[in-house]
């Protein structure tokens, strides 16, 4: 947690906040903070700055003199179409895309996504929000990425994707003898990343028909979370 990210509910007034729960624990146990210490503060979807601990108890901490004058870092202008990863990967994927600065994540179905993955409790709004929050607090960012689900591949690709991707450069990450992933800082991009077992030909064909260009990162097969980080880095960093 490099930033204490506050929700409007945490504010007593614009200069004062009362915090409990996980963030209190972190302030006590990881920061080892004391009264008088200054903390990096951000307001969800707002500015960043700092505040000073004026009270630190077992139940809550009070932060005073909150000044929020720094805008959050810019987002990457990317829409990530990600085949739903297996549940144990999901939490880290949400954290990673928030930390790296993705604007929009669309979790989509794919032939090699097991149906049971869509039932995981990690996909509740509450759990997703919690993981995105951790990712933003890591990066020092305040703005949540948008997250959507599309549980049916064909209707999404045929009916929604053509409009969604019409003003971006569009790529599909795929193993094989394709163009190396380019570097395109500041360009709006829609990038499709497949499931563990990869895309099937039908899916690649549907996306290339829409103008998605297959790209690759070399012969090593990366875990989904590593692939997401590597592709975002190559495109934007």
In whole angstroms, what is the distance from residue 215 CA to residue 171 CA?
A: 7
Among 23, 79, 96, 131, binds a copy of itself (CB under 8 A): 96
- Measured over the CA atoms of residue 193, residue 203, residue 186 and residue 134, the dihedral's sign is negative
In whole angstroms, what is the distance from residue 76 CA to residue 54 CA?
A: 36
Find where tokens 């790296």 sit: 100
In whole angstroms, what is the distance from residue 215 CA to residue 176 CA?
A: 8
- Of how many residues is the chain composed? 237
Shortest separation between residue 59's beta carbon and a copy of itself, angstroms: 27
Quote the DSSP letter at residue 118: G
Among 141, 172, 173, 206, binds a copy of itself (CB under 8 A): 141
Alpha helices in 67-223 (DSSP H): 87-100, 125-139, 153-155, 161-164, 201-209
Range in contact with a copy of itself (rule: CB under 8 A) among 115-123, 186-194, 199-207, 220-228:
220-228
Tell me: does residue 219 bind a copy of itself (CB under 8 A): yes
Tell me: does residue 224 bind a copy of itself (CB under 8 A): no
**Choice between 157 and 172, CB closer to a copy of itself:** 172
Range in contact with a copy of itself (rule: CB under 8 A) among 17-25, 97-105, 124-132, 201-209:
97-105
Tell me: does residue 223 bind a copy of itself (CB under 8 A): yes
Range in contact with a copy of itself (rule: CB under 8 A) among 5-13, 77-85, 164-172, 219-227:
219-227
Residues 172-201, one symbol each (x = binds a copy of itself by CB under 8 A, - = not), give: ---------x--------------------
CB 102 within 8 A of CB 141: no
Query: How many binding residues for a copy of itself (CB under 8 A)?
Result: 25
Q: Cβ neighbours of residue 229 under 8 Å, at least 6 residues apart?
A: 96, 100
Shortest separation between residue 237's beta carbon and a copy of itself, angstroms: 6
Quote the DSSP letter at residue 31: S
- Contact footprint for a copy of itself (CB under 8 A): 2, 73, 95-96, 99-101, 138-141, 181, 217-223, 226, 229-230, 233-234, 237
């Amino acid at each position: 947690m490099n930033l204490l990210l506050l929700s409007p509910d945490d504010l007593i007034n614009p200069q004062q906040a009362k915090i409990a729960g996980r963030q209190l624990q972190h302030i006590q146990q990881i920061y080892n903070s004391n009264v008088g210490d200054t903390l990096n503060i951000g307001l969800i979807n707002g500015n960043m700055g700092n505040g000073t601990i004026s009270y630190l108890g077992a139940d809550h901490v009070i932060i005073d003199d909150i000044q929020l004058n720094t805008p959050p870092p810019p987002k990457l202008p990317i829409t990530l179409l990600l085949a739903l990863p297996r549940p144990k990967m999901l939490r880290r994927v949400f954290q990673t895309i928030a930390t790296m600065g993705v604007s929009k994540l669309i979790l989509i179905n794919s032939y090699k996504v097991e149906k049971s993955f869509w039932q995981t409790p990690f996909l509740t709004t509450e759990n997703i929000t919690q993981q995105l929050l951790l990712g933003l607090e890591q990066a020092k960012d305040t703005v949540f990425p948008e997250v959507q689900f599309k549980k049916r591949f064909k209707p999404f690709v045929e009916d929604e994707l053509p409009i969604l991707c019409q003003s971006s450069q569009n790529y599909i990450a795929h193993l094989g003898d394709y163009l190396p992933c380019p570097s395109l800082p500041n360009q709006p991009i829609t990038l499709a990343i497949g499931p563990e077992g990869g895309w099937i030909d039908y899916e690649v064909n549907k996306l290339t028909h829409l103008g998605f260009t297959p790209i690759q990162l070399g012969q090593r097969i990366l875990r989904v979370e590593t692939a997401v980080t590597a592709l975002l880095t190559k495109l934007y960093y």
